[in-house]
Amino acid sequence: MESSVDHELQLETNQKVEKLIEFTNNGIDLIKNGDYEKAIRYFENESFAESVGLQLGDSKTIFLHNDLSNPQQIDDVLNFISLHSHFNHKYSEIKIAGLINSKLHPEKTKYFVPQDVWKDVALVNLEEWLHAVQFISKQPIAGEDDDEIDVALYMRAKGIPLTEHFLSMHGRNKFINGQKMNDNLKKH
Ligand SMILES: [Zn+2]
């Protein structure tokens, strides 16, 4: 039989998960509206994190020194952001690498960053928050055991068009394409 202490803990967990889903849903809406930079700022919510027993840790930051338009540099920036962003289970800590495009001596105040790059950064933000949901609820959010595939399936189910970079990480491409192939096979 379930003890009342277990029961209370479960209720507390359910409440946290509910709050987190609501929080991430708002971020998902911003991303779907194309408000990527707004979404990134939205996810930097330390007091909300604390209210569900999480913390936002420091991570590395890239400071641009030129307009970001070279495809190789874009790849490097996105890989850096992905590699230095993670959810740390041990400390219930979300760490997200930053991208800063402010100029030191401005005529224009900022270097150019393509919207697609901000979208990828926003997806990484959402990804780490979704890992927190997986961690707190102790179960997948889209029914897939692999955490990285699970977040991709969840985002897709929420109607977010996933990017090439996002799908290139953690073997998601192979899985998602494989699944599409299965879907196509079922149609015939
Ligand atoms: Zn991840």
Per residue of the chain (188 residues), what is the pLDDT tens digit? Answer: 567 888 998 889 999 999 999 999 999 999 999 999 999 999 999 999 999 999 999 899 999 999 999 999 999 999 999 999 999 999 999 999 999 999 877 666 899 999 999 999 999 999 999 999 999 999 999 999 999 999 999 999 999 999 999 999 998 988 887 776 666 666 55
CA of 129 from ligand 1 middle (Å) equals: 9
Q: What is the 102 CA–ligand 1 centroid distance (Å)?
A: 27
CA of 72 from ligand 1 middle (Å) equals 23
Distance 113 CA to ligand 1 centre (A): 23
Residue 16 neighbours by CB distance under 10 Å: 18
Q: Quote the distance between the C-alpha of residue 38 and its chain's center.
A: 14
Report the C-alpha gap between 82 and 88 in whole angstroms: 14
Please give the angle made by the CA atoms of 22, 176 and 70, to the nearest 5 degrees: 85
How many whole angstroms from 41 Cα to the centroid of ligand 1?
A: 19
Contacts with 135 (C-beta within 8 Å, 6 or more apart), sequence order: 87, 89, 92
If you measure from the C-alpha of residue 145 to the centroid of ligand 1, how many angstroms do you get, rounded to a whole number? 13
pLDDT at position 106: 64
For 6, other C-beta atoms within 10 Å of its C-beta total 10
pTM over 0.95: no
* Measured distance CA(187)–CA(41) in Å, rounded: 42
Distance of CA 79 from the midpoint of ligand 1 (Å)? 13
Are the C-beta atoms of residues 126 and 155 closer than 8 Å to each other? yes
